[in-house]
Amino acid sequence: LFFATHIEEFERATPTLITAPLCTLPSVNTTTMKISALAVILACALPEAYSKKVVRIPLNKRTDEEMVANLNSAQKLEKSLRGSTHTRNLKEENEVIKDYANAQYFGSVSIGSPPQSFMVIFDTGSSNLWVPKKGCTHCGNPFFGQKSKYDHDKSGSYTADGKDFEIMYGSGSVSGFFSKDSVILADDLEVTGQSFAEVQDAGGLGLAYALGKFDGILGLGFTSISVGGVPTVFENAIEQSIVDEPVFSFYLGDNGPGELTFGGYDDSKFEGDLTYTKLLQATYWEIALDGVSAGDYKAPDNADGSPITAIVDSGTSLITGPKKEIAKLAKAVGAKSSFTGQYTIDCATLDSMPDIVFTIDGTEYTIPGAKAVIQASGTCLFAFMGADFPPPGPQWILGDVFMRQYYTVFNYNEKTIGFAKAVSTEA
């Protein structure tokens, strides 16, 4: 599903930039500082022996029609999102907030020597890397949803671990065991000795996995929510000094190609300056919202005076919020509830649909009304969904619908997220 990959190397006495073109599955419709990848090359005069890298990874995009069909047949969102993670060899429990049924973007990663390639969801809403192992059960079948499977016997850099790994989802568990091996990003950036999970049974993800175009998950959250407390791939990349900056960035093409950049960001993909906001806590990428509004709707403040919470989640395609608030928001924009539990809107009214505004640290981030709709098979789906998560879960999830409009930079060390208006890919 990828186009041919081309890699450009700028070999200078400065950091090296590795690039790869972006590819996309056919699509029917579907707070201030700047550190560009180019600026890193031109300005950071490091010795060749200490060369670091900025790498870009292609992101595939599932078609809107396929995603909408999957959403309409899926279980209720909160049953898939809310789960707990367990490691039987460790005295700890964490919680995961995730629904891979509506994940839309995927990219490639390799594990082992020689490298074995996998399509993964690069997910800021979780923190572990896992892929199916050879002999995995409920991991696709020969007729549809085939999965690439890791075979540690074929890797010269594999190291056994053996500790149990398990994540509990609404419909069951995803389980296996930990191993260590090299992880390669964009064919060039190699993270050595990375702990990851070989999954033996992926039944807990149900049809979302069986029918999905991804093999595994590469979590980009913080180690604090990692199953087993194992360091994340990106944390190890920082510790091993193989990325130029402790940041990664998402550009999600609007009906076009997207890219994920490790070690920097690309200022050609956004307009103006990045505006950064501090995280509430380093678990998920969780921030405070000043407010949410559209038409005559305005989200109320929390009664206890606490901040309205939101996580910025690359692994969720829609935007979610409290059920009561989403119902009011949908009414304000003219959307109506359907028998599937989703909200739809008359496609003929998109031009007059109110914009939806998220206010973060005093800055307004606008989602144009028409961009808050996913069109497929003659249906206009309002890309907001109601979901109630008990504390410490977030009140809102800003998924790909938000991130398509705003280039998003995640700064691991400073614990901030930066936003800037993304350059449109539409003709």
Has 153 been annotated as catalytic? no
334 with 348: CB under 8 angstroms?
Answer: no
Whole-number Å distance between alpha carbons of 27 and 44: 39
The per-type count for the chain, helices as H runs and strands as E runs, is 7, 32
Has 346 been annotated as catalytic? no
Residue of 123, 244, 267, 400 marked catalytic: 123
Whole-number Å distance between alpha carbons of 83 and 208: 15
Whole-number Å distance between alpha carbons of 30 and 371: 9
In three-state secondary structure terms, 118 is strand
Whole-number Å distance between alpha carbons of 281 and 368: 29
Residue of 64, 244, 266, 313 marked catalytic: 313
Whole-number Å distance between alpha carbons of 341 and 166: 30
- CA-nearest of 213, 200, 199, 206 to 144 is 213
In three-state secondary structure terms, 50 is helix
Whole-number Å distance between alpha carbons of 358 and 328: 15
Pair of tokens at residue 228: 């087993």
DSSP state of 369: G
394 with 316: CB under 8 angstroms?
Answer: no
Whole-number Å distance between alpha carbons of 373 and 380: 6
Q: Which residues are marked as active site?
A: 123, 313
